[in-house]
Amino acid sequence: MIAPFFAELKELVTVATQAFERFEFSIALQETEKFFWGAFTDNYIELIKRRSRSEDDPQGRASAVATLRLGLNVVLRLFAPIVPTITG
């Protein structure tokens, strides 16, 4: 569950970075939004809801929360040059 998420996140960072380097901010924004609403909110958050609240598996909970925080941190950094008011 985590490996495909990280693979998609890594691909997003690569694509968005290349777009920023070419000053194609609309492409960076489009790809970041697509990842955020698709892979992140629709898929990953839905998959880890139960696991992140579990009292029975503290390691699983910690892993889910750490991955969630990392993903959100990366997405916010990609949004920052375009929408600085939500990332400050």
The whole-angstrom separation of Cα 5 and Cα 25 is: 23
Q: What is the pLDDT of residues 24-78, one digit of tens each?
A: 999 999 999 999 999 899 889 888 888 888 788 888 888 888 999 999 999 999 9
**What are the sequence ranges of the domains in the chain?**
2-87
Q: Give me the residue label for tokens 């008011």.
A: 85
> Do the beta carbons of residue 47 and residue 86 sit within 8 Å?
no
Please say if the pLDDT value at position 80 is more than 90: yes
Residue 27: Cβ-neighbour burial (10 angstroms; 0-12, 13-18, 19+): middle
Q: Binning pLDDT at 50, 70 and 90, where does residue 1 land?
A: low
CB atoms within 10 A of CB 21: 9
